[in-house]
Chains A and B, each alone.
Chain A
């Protein structure tokens, strides 16, 4: 059922994310879950990790064709969490995002992250739920 397959990709400029968060520290907790913040801050340079996680959130939203809130910081960003298990990143979807995935008949999604230089990239693929 090819109509059910969804793909989202997003590229984030690491210095832009860093400048935004350093210029407005409230953004960090607004964009990232506690687990994501702990993970990034445990790295020598947290910014590529934050950028890759933000890219993952955007990639999920793109795959679902769901827009961010037009009125304020979107709580959905906390409903898309990137966790690492055995070295590989994995999506944990909750709340409205999880319900949207279920309604569209999609599986848990596959995530791939990459960063090089100033850029961080995330690719998310949803297949049909078995």
Chain B
């Protein structure tokens, strides 16, 4: 569930629609499997991947994380904590990615970060959107009214002043999530 105005079904629908458009898929968007690999099963390239994340930002009026969770690890806990000297993922980085991506098959210590995008699924994308939508502020940051509305069921606007909801950006939420998970699991301490 994203928030009271944007349903889980709508999040999934927009992810499937964005995938269908970006990847120029001919089938009914609703038939795109949520556990399919965007790159390996759906034939997405890195360019398609960028295109579809921009589409999701526009559809929901949000800003997804523009920094990888691995970069957040290194910025928060220090260089070498996510990626070792040879460029491979550390044990704790794999733990974080498992939590973040819903334990996809294929994640392992020692793999390179350029192997991670092939593990991304529509479910992974929906998770990023959901995290931001769930952080809808209680009231409009412009006029302070608590009158959210969503005429299209995806973009939330203030019913009083008409301005788009100002969600926290994906990077600040990802960073807060990372700090919480690292503390709970005792990661990156050494």
Contact = CB atoms under 8 A, between A and B. Distances in A.
Contact of B50 (A27, A66, A103): A27
A73 B66 contact: yes
Contacts of A24: 51, 54-55, 58
Nearest to B38: A70
Contacts of A70: 68-69, 101, 116-117, 119-120, 124
A30 B48 CA distance: 13
Interface in B74-126: 74, 79-80, 83, 85, 87, 101, 112-117, 119-120, 124-125
Contacts of A104: 85, 87
Contacts of A30: 50, 54
A69 B65 contact: yes
Contacts of A20: 22, 47-48, 50-51
Given A17-B47, A24-B51, A71 B114 contact: no
A68 B120 CA distance: 11
Contacts of A69: 53, 65-68
A26 B54 contact: yes
A31 B50 contact: yes
A67 B47 contact: no
B69 A71 contact: yes
B14 interface: no
Contacts of A66: 87, 112-114
Interface in A1-42: 12, 16-17, 20, 23-24, 26-27, 30-31
B112 A65 contact: yes
Nearest to B71: A96
B80 to A, nearest CB: 8
B188 interface: no
Interface string B17-29: 0000110000000
A72 interface: yes
Contact of A65 (B51, B114, B128): B114
A101 to B, nearest CB: 11
Nearest to B74: A96
A47 interface: no
Interface in A48-91: 54, 58, 61-62, 64-77
B170 interface: yes
5 contacts: A68-B46, A68-B68, A71-B170, A77-B50, A96-B74
Interface of A: 12, 16-17, 20, 23-24, 26-27, 30-31, 54, 58, 61-62, 64-77, 96, 99-100, 103-104
Interface of B: 21-22, 45-51, 53-55, 57-58, 63-69, 71, 74, 79-80, 83, 85, 87, 101, 112-117, 119-120, 124-125, 128, 170, 174
Given A65-B113, A75-B67, 12 more contacts: A12-B47, A27-B51, A30-B54, A67-B115, A68-B68, A68-B117, A69-B66, A70-B117, A71-B64, A71-B174, A73-B54, A75-B66
